[in-house]
Amino acid sequence: MIVYGVGILAFCMLTGMFVGDLLGQIIGVKANVGGVGIAMLMLIVLSSLSSKKVQLGQLTQHGITFWSAMYIPIVIAMASRQNVVAAVSSGWLAVIAGVGAVALSFALIPVFTKLAQRSQQNQSEATEP
Amino acid sequence: MIIETLQAVMIKNSIITAFVFVAVVMWVSYWLSDKLTRGHVHGSAIAIALGLLIAYVGGAFTGGSKGIADIPVLTGVGILGGAMFRDFAIVATAFGADLDSIYKAGWVGAMSVILGVVISFIVGVVVAVLFGYKDAVSISTIGAGAATYIVGPVTGTALGAQSDVIALSVAAGLVKSVLVMIGTPFVAKSVGLDNPLSAMIYGGLMGTTSGVAGGLAATDPKLVPYGAMTATFYTGVGCLLAPSLLFMVVRFFTG
């Protein structure tokens, strides 16, 4: 049944949010620490298990893939409710700080990717006999 | 009478109205993508840009802070595009993602989150100093705002910053998130954002969940789970580092 998939998805999200909130309280910050990430990990583990031991039914999977397909529409709704006026009319300090942070971060993506690939190669060479 | 009744129906069924709104925006965007750019600019990229434009018009019209969702008949857009549905859909994209690539890039992702927070913080700090701020609290709050628009006010509140400085830090974070949404599809190719590893690094460096969610949707939806995975840890790490360790470093230099 489709609702089983939706239920599994919702359960993963609530559990992740719960753990994320607890993590935040434990390290003493007023924020959820990785709740969505933890929920995603739960779902990925579940979906990779499903190919071997636990087989999720076709309809159950539809309950999850429907919301995955709703991702872009939801992101568009998200874009439509941003405080763009504040972002555009915030004065130079905010604009320069925001643009600078984004530009530098973009520039560092290829650098970090290369470093990561190199160390992954080294690791796999080290583990091979 | 017809208009009042229509308004009442739309307000009463706000989320349903939002579905129609989003469907229309997407239809127009994909049509524009096909006719004007012959598919070169992806429909979802146009849709997100159009959404931001609509948000600007809504904000300018109502004076509110929630874009088009401040218009009564479109409050449902605010719910559909709010954190609850956004996170629900992000989690759903993880279904079928490759556990192996995430496992392999796990520590890279963790490093990129920490470095991402520090790098954005430094940029914010430098800009704040250039604009003449001299006290460690204000400088750190603006630095935290360059991380995300949540880290900024959390840090500012924790350190007791003035409200105008907190507002600035929110604005810096908003600029960042809007820019990431619009800019990602244009620079994706030149920074090699086309595989799970670089997507995880991207999510960790950018950190803004809405920016990353929008940016990857407009670039390649298959990369969403990898970028979102690391990005969701960013705000937490930022709220941890900015008011503590990073503030102490700033205070050391400002004396």
Residue among A20, A85, A110 whose CB faces B59 most closely: A85
Give per-residue pLDDT as tens, B136-161.
Answer: 999 999 999 999 988 898 889 888 88
Q: Which of the four pLDDT bands, split at 50, 70 and 90, describes residue B240? A: confident
pLDDT at B37: 82
Give per-residue pLDDT as tens, A72-96.
Answer: 899 899 889 888 888 777 789 999 9
Contact B102 A44 (CB under 8 A): yes
Task: With H, G, I as helix, E, B as strand and everything else as coil, classify residue A101.
Answer: helix
**CB contact, 8 Å: B71 with chain A?**
no
- Contact list in A for residue B89 (CB cut-off 8 A) is 67-68, 70-71, 74-75
Give per-residue pLDDT as tens, A13-60.
Answer: 999 999 989 988 887 777 777 888 889 889 888 877 755 556 778 888
Residue among A61, A81, A97 whose CB faces B172 most closely: A97
In terms of Cα–Cα distance, which of A53, A44, A129, A56 is closest to B100? Answer: A44
What is the spatial distance between Cα B81 and Cα A120, in angstroms, rounded to a whole number?
A: 38
pLDDT at A41: 87
Q: Any idea which of A40-54, B2-16, B118-132 has the lowest mean pLDDT?
A: A40-54
Minimum Cα–Cα distance from A14: chain B residue = B88
In contact, B219 and B188? CB cutoff 8 Å: yes
Q: Which two tokens stand for residue B212?
A: 């990353």
pLDDT at B45: 83
pLDDT at A87: 78
pLDDT > 90? residue B26: yes
**A with B: how many residue pairs have Cβ under 8 Å apart?**
326
pLDDT > 90? residue B164: no
Contact B142 A97 (CB under 8 A): yes
Residue scoring higher pLDDT (A89 or B198): B198
What is the spatial distance between Cα B247 and Cα B37, in angstroms, rounded to a whole number?
A: 47
Contact B22 A76 (CB under 8 A): yes
| Range B51-71 average pLDDT | 92
pLDDT > 90? residue B65: no
**Inter-CA distances, A100 with B127, B153, B158, B167, B189, Å:** 9, 19, 25, 18, 20
pLDDT at B78: 94
pLDDT > 70? residue A126: no
Contact A31 B239 (CB under 8 A): yes
What is the spatial distance between Cα B157 and Cα B168, in angstroms, rounded to a whole number?
A: 13
Task: With H, G, I as helix, E, B as strand and everything else as coil, classify residue B63.
Answer: coil
Minimum Cα–Cα distance from B71: chain A residue = A81
In contact, B168 and B142? CB cutoff 8 Å: yes
- Contact list in B for residue A79 (CB cut-off 8 A) is 47-49, 51-52, 55, 81, 181, 214
Based on its alpha-carbon atoms, the radius of gyration of chain A, rounded to whole angstroms, reads 20
**Inter-CA distances, A35 with A23, A106, B171, Å:** 9, 25, 25
Contact A99 B47 (CB under 8 A): no
B15/chain A closest Cα distance in angstroms: 11
pLDDT at A51: 59
Contact A81 B82 (CB under 8 A): yes
Minimum Cα–Cα distance from B168: chain A residue = A94
pLDDT at A128: 54
**CB contact, 8 Å: B223 with chain A?**
no
- Contact list in A for residue B238 (CB cut-off 8 A) is 31
pLDDT at B73: 94
**CB contact, 8 Å: A29 with chain B?**
yes
Contact B81 A107 (CB under 8 A): no
Q: Which of the four pLDDT bands, split at 50, 70 and 90, describes residue A127? A: low
Contact B123 A100 (CB under 8 A): yes
B190/chain A closest Cα distance in angstroms: 9
Residue scoring higher pLDDT (B73 or A119): B73
Minimum Cα–Cα distance from A65: chain B residue = B92
pLDDT at B117: 95
Average pLDDT, chain B: 90
What is the spatial distance between Cα A19 and Cα A26, in angstroms, rounded to a whole number?
A: 10
ipTM score assigned to the predicted complex: 0.87
In terms of Cα–Cα distance, which of B107, B127, B103, B104 is closest to B115? Answer: B107
Minimum Cα–Cα distance from B214: chain A residue = A75
**CB contact, 8 Å: B99 with chain A?**
yes
| Range A104-122 average pLDDT | 88
pLDDT > 60? residue B195: yes
pLDDT at B41: 77
pLDDT > 60? residue B27: yes
**CB contact, 8 Å: A71 with chain B?**
yes
Residue scoring higher pLDDT (A123 or B109): B109
| Range B93-117 average pLDDT | 85
pLDDT at A1: 86
